[in-house]
């Protein structure tokens, strides 16, 4: 599974990588880093973490991405899907394609895990250029109105079937830590930016 990108290795993370992953997340997310690391620890603890990938350069973990379990509440049945969060790159390594390399590794890993869909909350322009689409374009609903509709994005994988529509349902830990979507005043600012385009 390891992939090389101009000296950058992308591979699955092991327990030994956790301290380095936490340091990257704290650096990338600033004040929210501790909360993001908390949710990741809890997801690992209840086995809702599907897989974590790390980007390694010169022996150092410089980026990471996590895929955790979630569901689409379709009419026929619950569909097991994955949520991509977080995607983090060490601040001094940002803007060099590390995040893109991690994203490029996601489809094959998610497909191997049997997921028909991968979701994320993120900037439409950044992820749209990398193959992600608005979830609403495929009959998929965001788990909260506090996620601006364009920010709820999805990657369709070969296992996807047309009947797999409905609301995305996050595991309980995301709600307990209030990490679903945004709250005002940040939400209002993002919505204002989106409508100004």
- What does the pLDDT look like over 117-136, one tens digit per residue? 999 999 999 999 999 999 99
Using pLDDT thresholds of 50, 70 and 90, give the confidence band for residue 194.
Answer: confident
How many domains are there within the chain? 1
- What is the residue-averaged pLDDT of the chain? 93
Q: SS in 3 state form for the chain?
A: CCEEECCEEEEECCHHHHHHHHHHHHHHHHHHHHHHHHHHHHHHHCCCEEEEEEEEECCEEEEEEEEEEEEEECCCCEEEEEEEEEEEECHHHCCCCHHHHHHHHHHHHHHHCCCCEEEEECCHHHHHCCCCEEHHHHCEECCCCCCCHHHEEEEECCCCCCCCCEEEECCHHHHHCCCCCCCCCHHHHHHHHHHHC
| CATH number of the domain encompassing residue 102 | 3.40.630.30
- What does the pLDDT look like over 57-69, one tens digit per residue? 999 999 999 999 9
pTM of the model: 0.92
Q: Domain residues for 120?
A: 3-196
- pLDDT higher than threshold 70 for residue 149: yes
């Amino acid at each position: 599974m390891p992939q090389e990108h101009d000296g950058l290795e992308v591979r699955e993370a092991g327990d030994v990588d956790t301290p380095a992953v936490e340091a990257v997340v704290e650096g990338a997310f600033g004040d929210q880093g501790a909360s993001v690391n908390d949710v990741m620890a809890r997801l690992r603890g209840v086995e809702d973490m599907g897989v974590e990938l790390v980007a390694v350069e010169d022996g150092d973990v410089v980026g990471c991405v996590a895929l955790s379990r979630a569901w689409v509440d379709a009419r026929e049945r619950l569909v097991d899907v994955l949520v991509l969060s977080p995607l983090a790159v060490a601040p001094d390594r940002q803007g060099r394609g590390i995040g893109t390399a991690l994203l490029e590794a996601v489809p094959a890993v998610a497909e191997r895990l049997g997921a028909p869909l991968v979701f994320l909350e993120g900037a439409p322009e950044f992820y749209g250029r990398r193959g992600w689409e608005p979830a609403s374009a495929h009959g998929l609903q965001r788990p909260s109105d506090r996620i601006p509709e364009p920010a709820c994005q999805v990657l369709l994988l070969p296992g996807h079937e047309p009947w797999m529509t409905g609301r995305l349902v996050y595991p309980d830990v995301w709600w307990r830590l209030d990490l679903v979507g945004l709250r005002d005043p940040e939400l209002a600012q993002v919505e204002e930016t989106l409508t100004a385009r």
